Amino acid sequence: MAVSLRLPGNVKRRIAKLAQEQNTTPHAFMLEAIRDRVDAEEARAAFHAEAKRRLARMRKSGMGVPAEEVFDYLLGRASGKKPPRPKPRKHR
């Protein structure tokens, strides 16, 4: 599929400069930028889909971990400690 992009002159100049600094062509630079964005958006969509699946599973089972316990666990890990993982339990 052929695609044509109309870029403002200042954007073309910025791309050309960056491409030259990276020893590549403006075309290759733009392709890599587009690929990177597509990869990021696909990863974001997959993350959201997985979150929806997990939420549905949690609602169906009634099992979960209170947010406060999750935050305490993550803060402990972030500070270099090794706190025990919170255990899921039935939601009241």
Tens-place pLDDT, residues 24-65? 999 999 999 999 999 999 999 999 999 999 999 999 999 999
Contact of 86 with 68, CB cutoff 8 Å: no
Q: Could you tell me the pTM of the whole model? A: 0.71
Contact of 89 with 63, CB cutoff 8 Å: yes
Rounded (10°) angle between helices 26-61 and 9-21: 90
Q: Find tokens 């696909």 and name the residue.
A: 42
